[in-house]
Amino acid sequence: MQDFARGTGLEPAADHPRRYLWTDAFAVCTYLGLYETTGSMECRDLALRLIGQVHHTLGRYRDDDARKGWISGLSSDEGENHPTAGGLRIGKSLPERGPGEPHDGQREWDQDGQYYHYLTRWMHALATAGRVTGDPAFTAWAVDLARAAHARFTYLPPHGTQKRMYWKMSTDLSRPLVPSMGQHDPLDGLVTFRELQQAQGTGTGQPVLVQEIAELAGIGRGLSLETSDPLGTGGLLADASRIARLAVQGEPVGPDLLEEVMDAALVGLEAFAGSGLLELPARYRLAFRELGLSAGLAGIEKFPAWIRENPDLSAMAGPLLSRVQALREYVPLRDAIEGFWLEERNRTAAAWTEHRDINTVSLATSLAPEGFLGR
């Protein structure tokens, strides 16, 4: 994490830091987890400084964009108070595709805009910051972001009765750049919005994001969650941990959802274990995808205690524990993945160095997953 801070302009602070929303979301969680487990004020300070850099970099238009200021359109002062009200850019190397520019599927991967699943990761990072610091501003910013994302990424098809979601939007959220829907976006949104609802608490007012949560549940109903992508499977495992944690806190997400997510994760784990990928040399492997799976596997050991302690979960103890046992069979994959990428020679391969920032943070997150998964 020190290498990441130096390399991206976080510490020492650069005039033009290299910020990328997905990587930075995991970095914030990891720094905060290290602060909680070690008491390092340096890690806490780096997490909060990173949040500020992300908002002031990715919450504003690019330097090479004719548009200036906050992408939300808010004034300078209002933007400081609501830095996420217009969403956050991805942080890609190339400007977004223009309104009249033809779509190039390969080039699109390197062009800026906004991804829904990156935004939900940042909401989770902000919620973690709110929990660790006790400052409600972080959760409020996450809720601002949730409302903005839901309003612009969801839509009702002309001849449909059920909303759907775009996968990628323009920087100002005015038009879709990739109209297809991400396989796990509705699930990620649902779990993250329930986290925010629980984090904010009802107080004397009404719960937040009620309509948005209902709509996400509808969008995700009946969608297949199974994937052969290890990063996607790791995301399912992380979502399973978050769903179980919410149930323990008295905030169940939905009936049968935990079992459905665990079943899909098991299919992905079986596919990964049988793929032979772990036998390949580093040049043929993408570390951050494997390490995303490894980080998700870290949460499995907490399930038996959660099930015993929570009445709602213990009522389903038999089916849940059998799934947990099946998942635990794959926990040794974590050691295999981490051990491989901890070998310095494997981190000299182009497959590592070409994605150094995200690989570095993913390895740190897998080694110290408490901030991302929760304690």
Mean pLDDT of 222-227: 96
The CATH code that applies to domain 1-95+109-221 is 1.50.10.10
Asked if residues 138 and 29 have their Cβ atoms less than 8 Å apart, the reply is: no
Centre a 10 Å sphere on the Cβ of residue 98 and count the other Cβ atoms it contains.
9
The yes-or-no verdict on residue 359 having pLDDT over 90 is: yes
Q: What is the pTM of this model?
A: 0.96
Overall residue count recorded for the chain in this entry: 375
Give how far the C-alpha of residue 374 lies from the chain's centroid of Cα atoms, to the nearest Å.
13
Q: Which residues of 6-28 are buried (b: 16+ CB within 10 A; e: fewer)?
A: eebbbbeeeeebbbbbbbbbbbb
The reported pLDDT for the residue numbered 311 is 72
Domain ranges of the chain: 1-95+109-221, 224-375
Model confidence band, residue 202 (pLDDT cutoffs 50, 70, 90)? low
CA distance 233 to 224: 13
**Which residues, including other chains, have CB under 8 Å from residue 291's CB and lie 6 or more apart?**
234, 337, 338, 341, 359, 362, 363, 365, 366
**Residue 365: pLDDT over 90:** yes
Q: Whole-number mean pLDDT of the chain?
A: 95
Buried b (16+ CB within 10 A) or exposed e, 165-201: bbbbbbbbbeebbbeebbbbbbbbbbbbbbbbbbbbe
Q: Residue 164 forms beta bridges with which residues?
A: 155
What pLDDT shows up at residue 264?
98
pLDDT at 199 over 70: yes
